[in-house]
Structures are given as C-alpha cells and as structure tokens.
Amino acid sequence: MSQPKIKRRVGKYEVGRTIGEGTFAKVKFARNSETGEPVALKILDKEKVLKHKMAEQIKREIATMKLIKHPNVVRLYEVMGSKTKIFIVLEFVTGGELFDKIVKHGRMREEEARRYFHQLINAVDYCHSRGVYHRDLKPENLLLDAYGNLKVSDFGLSALSQQVRDDGLLHTTCGTPNYVAPEVLNDRGYDGATADLWSCGVILFVLLAGYLPFDDPNLMTLYKKISAAEFTCPPWLSFSAMKLITRILDPNPMTRITIPEILEDEWFKKDYKPPVFEEKEDTNLDDVEAVFKDSEEHHVMEKREEQPAAMNAFELISMSKGLNLGNLFDAEQGFKRETRFTSKCPANEIIHKIEEAAKPLGFDVHKKNYKMRLENSKAGRKGNLNVATEIFQVAPSLHMVEVRKAKGDTLEFHKFYKNLSTCLEDVVWKTEEDMQECWKAWTILMECTGLVYPSKMSIVINGY
Ligand code: 3AM
C-alpha cells in the first residue's frame, strides 16, 4: 500500500504534482533542476496533436509564442517531445484565476474591471498583431501573477483542443460555449481576431455584472441567445460601459468593434497606459522544429526514479492536517487543490465510507487498489469535477488519506470536500487542534530523550 514514490524527470525538469487536467492536456508543476525555477508543464498526446491538419499552424503559433515576452501573456519557455508526448514548458503563475475573485467577492467596481480589461486587450492586441489567435478565451485562461497582474494563458495553443474535421474547418470539441462567438457556434469557419474580441466582451460583462450575459441550462436555447446577442445589462452599469459592451457583443463579426476602435473608446481610454516591455530577440526555435520533425535523436529524456522507501511516519503525519477547511487556503499557492487526513480505520472501511459519502453527492466511484477516482456526472463551472483519493499506510493501524482535485473547478472541490468531511467525521483520526497537541507532546518527548526529529517534523513543530 505505501508504495515507493516515483520521481519523474523530463529533460532538465523535475516533475511534481498535477495542477489541472483538461480533455486534451494535463498541467503539472515542475522545477528546472539547473536554475531551481518553477514552471508549469503542459503535457499533450503527440499522436492527437500531430494527426490533425493543424500541425503546421500549431507549430507556427508555438514558434511565435516563444518569441513573445509580453507582461500579460504567460511565457512559453520551450517545447520538448518524447516518442508519445509533447511537453510545453510555461511560466508558472501563482496568483490563481481571475474568476475566482468574482466567485469569492462578486462583481468588480468599474475601475478594477477596467484595469484587467486593459491588460486583456493589451495581450490580445499584441498576439493578434503577430498572427496568433487564442480562439478559446475563457475564465480558466485568465490567471493572475503574484502582483495581481493578468496573464493570459494558452495563446496559440488552443487550436490543440479543437479539431479539424473532414471539412477542414475548426470545430470546438468541448467546454462551455458561454464565451464563444456566434460565428464559431454556427460552425461556418471564422476569423480568429473578431471571435477573440467577442470573448473579451463576455469576460468584461462578467467582471462588471458578476454573472454571464448568455446562460441557459438548455444548450439549444443558449445557442439561440448567443446568436441573437440577446443579453440585458444590469442597471448598475455606467452608460459608457454598456455602450462598449454592446459594440463588442455584436453578433455580426463584420460590424463588431475592432481593437483600434476599442483603444479609442471613451470608457476604455480612462487611465489607460500602453504597456512598456522588451521583446526577446535572440530566441532559438530549434526545439519547436525538433518536436514537429519527430526524429528520435531529438526526443527528450524521460526518467522515472524510484525514491527510497516511502516517507516515514513523522513526515506523513506532518502532511496531514485533519479535516479543517482552513487548510484549503494556502498563502503561497492560493486555493489548494489537495488535502490530507489521517485515520485509524482499516483501508477498506475508509474506501467504503468515502464511497458512501460521494455517491449521494452525484459522484460515480471508480476504485483501483487503494486509489479511487470520484467523477461527478453533472458539469460544473469548469466541466465535471473529478476527485482522486489515495490511501497510504503509515503504520499497521494508521493510514493517511490524500484527497486531490483531478479536474474541474477548485472552489467546487472545496464545497465537495466540506460535504465529504461531514460524512467522514467518524473515520478521521486527528483534527488540526489534536495534531497541534500531538506535536507539542512529541517536542517534549524528543527534548527529554535527546532524540533528533526528522527534518520535516521539526519544521512543523517550530511552525506552531
Ligand atoms: O484546475 P484549475 O482551474 O485550478 O489555472 C489552470 C487550471 O487550474 C492551471 O492548470 C489548470 C488546468 O489548466 N494552469 C494552467 N497554466 C498554468 C500556469 N502557467 C496554470 N497554473 C499555473 N501556471
């Protein structure tokens, strides 16, 4: 049960936890072992990417993105390929998603929304001017850095999540259509620039209103509302904001406002400062060529190293913090996607209890040994919520249970975890308060006996 930990390496990167999973790609945390710099590693299935007719366009866009060093665009550092995968190394952005702010605090004041909208338009304008389109601008692609600045992710990469069917046109495969332009939904081929602007209009509406301009549980009705640009502005919107939104959410892409016109708009111009930044001149594009050439000599080294026997009991317990919801926010990482607790129940009983708790909440449960995957059948804000759990044995009668969001919205995960924790009260061994008492007792014991604690434990103890 307590398997040895596998450490994975891709080239010079040490690969860590999964940050998120989409239909097409997995995003993992990784660290450049030469510089120590943290990165986000986007992992794609090579066969799926290369088989469709977009390969040339994707290659061109990735090459262009490598040249772009814009303050509001997530940096793409390099691309690597193995026999079966493509790895895209991205700047690691730590401030969470812009829309988590809306979910938590509701709509924004116009000044705040305007600042984000300026940054969004700067990013979009810059990439468009270099022939790169996003085609899938939506909340999860709007990240915030540590200083609260907007960083648009996936520019030039979203074609990867779309399909070219036999008619040679782009077809959106999945995801919520709420941000998608009518001409994209009509599926007659479209211009990336005007379609991106529509999505910017929807984003601006959400920032100012706190809800979506087009929404309906019935997909056909939603399509109709989008096609007719049928939306109503909330009464608190200023006249000039309303005017701009209406010009962006024009269902006809031919008459829709353009970026140069937005830059001249009265509402937009207030406090606008054009960005100042340096472009990266001397970028080497050999890696992009190599990935798409697919010659074996250019494959990146993928290594799996077995770690010495699993962590010891002290370290495992120090990672588990009971079922206290306060643990779900971390000052460094923002909203947490994983948490752990300890239990003195047998593993089978823990599994059974989790299953019993998850099913009434609408989750399908898949079990494999001591791992479980809980899949919610209802689509949430970011698709279906998927939760992965794993049980580790610390001692014959002590287990640590890890609960991790594998897919979906982090705040929906927190809500699920809150429900789960209520159902698991009799399974959990230690609450956080108990743990603190436990550490204090250990400190005294260690001090009296003169024993040295494992390093992780001493950090935790000193932290209290
Ligand atoms: O699953 P959630 O929505 O919490 O924010 C992105 C999303 O998180 C995150 O990975 C998940 C799947 O897209 N993400 C994507 N690119 C990132 C980056 N460059 C990133 N997080 C940090 N830095």
- pLDDT-based confidence at 453, cuts 50/70/90? very low
Quick check: 122 pLDDT over 80?
yes
Question: Residue 25: which H helix or E strand, with range?
Answer: strand 25-32
List residues bridging with 30 in a β-sheet. 15, 39
Q: Which residues of 119-132 are buried (b: 16+ CB within 10 A; e: fewer)?
A: bbbbbbbbbbeeeb
- What gap in Å lies between CA 135 and CA 154, rounded to an integer? 10
Highest mean pLDDT: which range of 119-123, 287-291, 335-339, 443-447: 119-123
Check whether 28 has a pLDDT greater than 60. Answer: yes
pTM attached to this predicted model: 0.72
Instruction: Determine which residue's CA is closest to atom 4 belonging to ligand 1.
Output: 410
What's the rounded mean pLDDT across residues 212-225? Answer: 93
Check if the beta carbon of residue 100 is closer than 8 Å to that of residue 140. no
* Mean pLDDT, range 192-207, rounded to an integer: 95
Bigger pLDDT: 165 vs 456: 165
**319 Cα to the center of ligand 1, angstroms:** 23
CA of 97 relative to ligand 1 center, distance in Å = 8
Question: Which atom of ligand 1 has the smallest separation from the CA of 91?
Answer: 19
Query: Distance between alpha carbon 458 and the CA centroid of its chain, in Å?
Result: 33
Return the pLDDT at 278: 74
Q: For residue 197, how many C-alpha atoms fall within 13 Å in the half-sphere facing its CB?
A: 28
For the ranges 47-61, 120-134, 313-327, which has the lowest average pLDDT?
Answer: 313-327
**Residue minimizing CA distance to atom 15 of ligand 1:** 27
Percent over 90 (pLDDT), the chain: 38
Distance 27 CA to ligand 1 centre (A): 7
Instruction: Tell me which of 17, 19, 26, 77 to substitute to probe ligand 1's pocket, judged by most ligand atoms within 8 Å of the beta carbon.
Output: 19
In whole angstroms, give the CA distance from residue 313 to residue 325.
Answer: 23
- Residue type at 387? V
Backbone φ and ψ for 248, nearest 5 degrees, come out as -80, -45
* pLDDT higher than 50, residue 248: yes
Of 71, 73, 41, 38, whose CA–CA distance to 153 is shortest? Answer: 73
Which strands, in side-by-side order, build the sheet including 85-91? 76-81, 85-91, 38-45, 25-32, 13-21, 6-10, 302-306
451-457 contacts, C-beta under 8 A, 24 or more apart: 453/314, 454/312, 454/314, 454/315, 456/314, 456/315, 456/318, 457/314, 457/315, 457/318
Which sign does the torsion angle of CA 30, 90, 106, 226 carry? negative
Question: What's the CA-to-centroid distance between 458 and ligand 1, angstroms?
Answer: 32
Residue corresponding to tokens 């990146």? 300
> What average pLDDT does this structure show over 230-240?
96
Q: Which domains does the chain have, with CATH numbers?
A: 1-92 (3.30.200.20), 95-278 (1.10.510.10), 311-461 (3.30.310.80)
Q: How confident is the model at residue 351 (pLDDT cuts 50, 70, 90)?
A: very high
Which protein residue has the closest C-alpha to ligand 1 atom 10? Answer: 20
Give the tens place of pLDDT for each residue, 54-83: 677 777 878 888 888 899 999 999 999 988
Average the pLDDT over each of 12-21, 68-77, 133-142, 295-304 and give the range with the smallest value: 295-304
C-alpha of 438 from chain center: 35
Grade residue 136 by pLDDT with cuts at 50, 70 and 90: confident
Give residue 207's pLDDT: 96
- Residue 227 φ/ψ, nearest 5 degrees: -60, -35
Mind telling me the catalytic residues? Answer: 136
Q: Pick from 21, 88, 26, 97: which is nearest to 59 by CA?
A: 88
Helical H runs in 79-218?
98-105, 110-129, 182-185, 192-209
Q: Is the dihedral of CA 327, 332, 338, 341 positive or negative?
A: negative
Q: What is the pLDDT of residues 400-419, one digit of tens each?
A: 888 888 888 888 888 888 88
Residue 408 Cα: closest atom of ligand 1: 1
Strands 302-306 and 170-172: unpaired
Residue 447 has pLDDT above 70, yes or no: no
Strands (E), 248-362: 302-306, 329-330, 334-335, 338-343
pLDDT over 70 (residue 431):
no
Q: Which residues pair with 363 in a beta bridge?
A: 376
More confident residue, 190 or 388: 388
- Which residue ranges make up the annotated binding site for ATP? 42
Confidence of residue 165 (pLDDT cuts 50, 70, 90): very low
Q: Which ligand 1 atom lies nearest to the CA of residue 337?
A: 4
How far apart are the C-alpha atoms of 192 and 137, rounded to whole Å? 11
| % residues pLDDT > 70 (the chain) | 77
Q: How many CB atoms lie within 10 A of CB 451?
A: 9
Distance CA 127, CA 72 (A): 10
Name the residue of 75, 140, 405 whose CB sits within 8 Å of the most ligand 1 atoms, as the mutation to test its pocket: 140
Q: What is the mean pLDDT of the chain?
A: 81
Helix-helix angle 98-105:192-209, to 10 degrees: 30
**Which range is least confidently modeled, 178-187, 268-277, 291-300, 438-447?**
438-447
Q: Provide the pLDDT for residue 1.
A: 53
